[in-house]
Amino acid sequence: MGWFLLPFDNLLCIVLGISFTVGFSSLLVIVVPAVLGVSIGIRRLYMKSLLKVFEWATVRMERGAKEKNQHLYKPYSNGIIAKELSSLEQEIQELRASGTTLSSEPEFEMADIMYFCRRGVESIVDDEVTKRFSAQELESWNLLTRSNFNARHISLRLSVLWGLGLFIRYGFLLPLRVTLAASGIGLLVVLTTIVGFIPSGWLRTYLSEKIHLMSYRICVRSLTAIITYHNSENKPKNGGICVANHTTPIDVIILANDGCYSMVGQIHGGLIGVVQRAMVKSSPHIWFERSEVKDRHLVAERLSNHVADKTKHPILIFPEGTCINNTSVMMFKKGSFEIGCTVYPVAIKYDPRFGDAFWNSSKFGMVNYLLRMMSSWAIVCSVWYLPPMSREEGEDAVQFANRVKAAIATQGGLVDLLWDGGLKRGKVKNTFKEEQQKLYSKVLVGDQEDQGEDRPQEDEEEELEEGDQNEDRPLEDYTPRPLEDCSLRLQEEEEERGSETPMKDQ
């Protein structure tokens, strides 16, 4: 019985031997530069070659689709319908102009309801907020099943490529990454505990910085994160607060890779709790007990105390409060902006072609999410450090928060939305409905300024009539605008609606 197992035995030995050698040498190649803080450039080369493969894959799929005379289902990132980006006043004027007599005193017309009706149905078919909370849609396929919409157009060659990709990702990359992550975290815990025994002083701070940076570098490599840092001269300094948009828990690792921050958060049980407690031994982080989290004054006090001490690192905070899918920035909670110190905004933008980093907490748990991250090709992102901002005279916390938010959104190429990230789970407030009612009543009852302008109104009437004629062009041939255009016009629309009225609570 033993004799025919022998060749298998040999084969098994050889296979194991090879995989161990390969694994170990890759580990060395990755860990050593991480420890030393040097970058060889393997990851960028990897990224370039991957891109070439993806392009080839998409071209093949398009060819396949054309042969079968079908449409490739390319979900456009701008949505299902083309929205009219005009304001309430404009539209109602247009309704009136095309309707009956244009009296000098605007009054209620039965057709006015059509404006609200259409807006309502548009939002049923396609609305921005719900879209922000699901993963962004791609134009090309990146060989991951999870982002594949065109299962039928895959030829044999593509399937082979996909299978190969699967093997590489789960068989080679995943174990490698898990090992790296484990060693990174293990090193962090052990070394910070050791450093914790050194009395506070220059040596301890220096060592703790080095250890933190090294562990984060290893973690970054364990995710194969390829990060480009822009404007490093604006990096956050001690005694300030660093504010960034939130897409995934990995944001922390991405930022901490480049500088030392003090984290803020709730202390957890389990493995994360162990890591948190170890970290706090060597450098001051702000962890809250669960019960303390609700106490806003306590939170504010601890943050202020930390910031006042110039030897402590800048605090890292994500004011959106929840993960957004990286196409927009949602409302910032005002708490961190009330403290009154310098704020260093940071914009993080992920490249979705290599792997969607967004954590949809209602769909995936943490472990599932990490598994997905570690089995994607890579996480490619750009980090922009924006110039520091402070609260100006006469500006309240909410306005300051909005200003910072707008800066981050512009830099990252994200849409600046007014909505509260908490809306993912909650309902909208009545204040917005009142806004709409106010605007409409203004049109009906008329502004004071309108009454003195008789002549300009006639010109308006002519312009409006011309406008109506133009609208006879075929509506079916509408082509979608590029996303950048949309985002700018959305901002204009929000401003027009006069919706600078801030939302109040946290």
Partner 1 sequence: MGSTNSTLSKIPNVEELMQETGFTPAHIVRLYDRFEALDKEKTGHLRPQDFGAINRLAMNPIGDRIIGAFFSPGQETVDFHSFVRILAHFRPADKKRPKDPSMPEPVNSRTSKLKFAFQLYDQDKDGKISRAELLQVLRSMLEMQVTEEQLESIADRTIQEADLDKDDAISFEEFRKSLEKVNIDHKMSIRFLR
Q: Which amino acid is at 303?
A: L
Q: Is 475 in the site for partner 1 (CB under 8 A)?
A: yes
Q: Is 437 in the site for partner 1 (CB under 8 A)?
A: yes
Q: Is 440 in the site for partner 1 (CB under 8 A)?
A: yes
CB atoms within 10 A of CB 7: 9
Q: Is 270 in the site for partner 1 (CB under 8 A)?
A: no
Are 325 and 132 within 8 A, CB to CB?
Answer: yes
Among 498, 480, 506, residue whose Cα is nearest residue 137: 480
Q: Which amino acid is at 209?
A: E
* Residue 111: strand, helix, or coil: helix
Selected from 238, 304, 390, 436, the binder of partner 1 by CB under 8 A is: 436
Selected from 9, 289, 458, 468, the binder of partner 1 by CB under 8 A is: 468
Cβ neighbours of residue 242 closer than 8 Å, sequence gap 6 or more = 236, 255, 261, 314, 315, 316, 317, 343, 344, 346
Selected from 20, 24, 76, 206, the binder of partner 1 by CB under 8 A is: 76
* Range list of H helices, 98-155: 113-125, 128-132
- Contact range with partner 1 by CB under 8 A, out of 71-79, 213-221, 290-298, 455-463: 71-79
CB of 18 to partner 1, least distance (A): 39
Q: Is 129 in the site for partner 1 (CB under 8 A)?
A: yes
Please return the burial class of 337, using the count of CB atoms within 10 Å of its CB with bins 0-12, 13-18 and 19+.
Answer: buried
- Contact range with partner 1 by CB under 8 A, out of 12-20, 27-35, 284-292, 471-479: 471-479
Q: Is 489 in the site for partner 1 (CB under 8 A)?
A: no
Chain-centroid distance of CA 100 in Å reads 49
Please return the burial class of 31, using the count of CB atoms within 10 Å of its CB with bins 0-12, 13-18 and 19+.
Answer: buried
Are 344 and 243 within 8 A, CB to CB?
Answer: yes
* Residue 152: strand, helix, or coil: helix
Are 318 and 246 within 8 A, CB to CB?
Answer: yes
CB of 364 to partner 1, least distance (A): 16
Which x/- pattern, by CB under 8 A, does the window 51-70 give for partner 1?
-------------------x
Is the Cβ of residue 230 or residue 425 nearer to partner 1 in the bound state? Answer: 425
What is the Cα–Cα distance from 71 to 486, expressed in whole angstroms? 25
Tokens of 394: 């006469």
Q: Is 183 in the site for partner 1 (CB under 8 A)?
A: no
Q: Is 363 in the site for partner 1 (CB under 8 A)?
A: no
Is the Cβ of residue 297 or residue 427 nearer to partner 1 in the bound state? Answer: 427
Selected from 107, 309, 458, 461, the binder of partner 1 by CB under 8 A is: 107
Phi, psi of 81 (to 5 degrees): -125, 160
Is the Cβ of residue 216 or residue 358 nearer to partner 1 in the bound state? Answer: 358
CB of 138 to partner 1, least distance (A): 12
CB of 503 to partner 1, least distance (A): 13
What is the Cα–Cα distance from 197 to 190, expressed in whole angstroms? 12
- Strand ranges (DSSP E) for 236-342? 241-244, 262-266, 286-288, 315-317, 328-329
CB of 380 to partner 1, least distance (A): 24
Long-range CB contacts for residues 266-273, cutoff 8 Å, separation at least 24: 266/290, 266/293
Are 212 and 260 within 8 A, CB to CB?
Answer: yes
Selected from 392, 466, 476, 505, the binder of partner 1 by CB under 8 A is: 476
- Contact range with partner 1 by CB under 8 A, out of 49-57, 101-109, 196-204, 293-301: 101-109
- Contact range with partner 1 by CB under 8 A, out of 212-220, 333-341, 348-356, 476-484: 476-484
Query: Do the bridges between strand 328-329 and strand 315-317 make them parallel or antiparallel, or are there none, so unpaired?
Result: unpaired
Selected from 29, 36, 121, 198, the binder of partner 1 by CB under 8 A is: 121
For residue 344, give the H/E element and its range.
strand 343-351
Is the Cβ of residue 290 or residue 489 nearer to partner 1 in the bound state? Answer: 489
- Contact range with partner 1 by CB under 8 A, out of 129-137, 230-238, 277-285, 310-318: 129-137
* Range list of H helices, 144-201: 156-167, 174-196
Q: Is 364 in the site for partner 1 (CB under 8 A)?
A: no
| Residue 309, phi-psi category: left (phi > 0), alpha (psi -120 to 50), beta (remainder) | beta
Q: Is 287 in the site for partner 1 (CB under 8 A)?
A: no
Q: Is 73 in the site for partner 1 (CB under 8 A)?
A: yes
Selected from 47, 51, 95, 207, the binder of partner 1 by CB under 8 A is: 95
CB of 315 to partner 1, least distance (A): 31
- Contact range with partner 1 by CB under 8 A, out of 147-155, 167-175, 213-221, 370-378: 147-155
CB of 335 to partner 1, least distance (A): 23
Residues 211-250 that bind partner 1 (CB under 8 A): none
- Contact range with partner 1 by CB under 8 A, out of 120-128, 215-223, 232-240, 386-394: 120-128
Are 69 and 82 within 8 A, CB to CB?
Answer: no
- Chain contacts with partner 1 (rule: CB under 8 A): 70-73, 76, 78-82, 91, 94-95, 98-100, 107-130, 134, 149-153, 419, 423, 427-428, 432-438, 440-441, 444-445, 468, 471, 474-476, 478-480
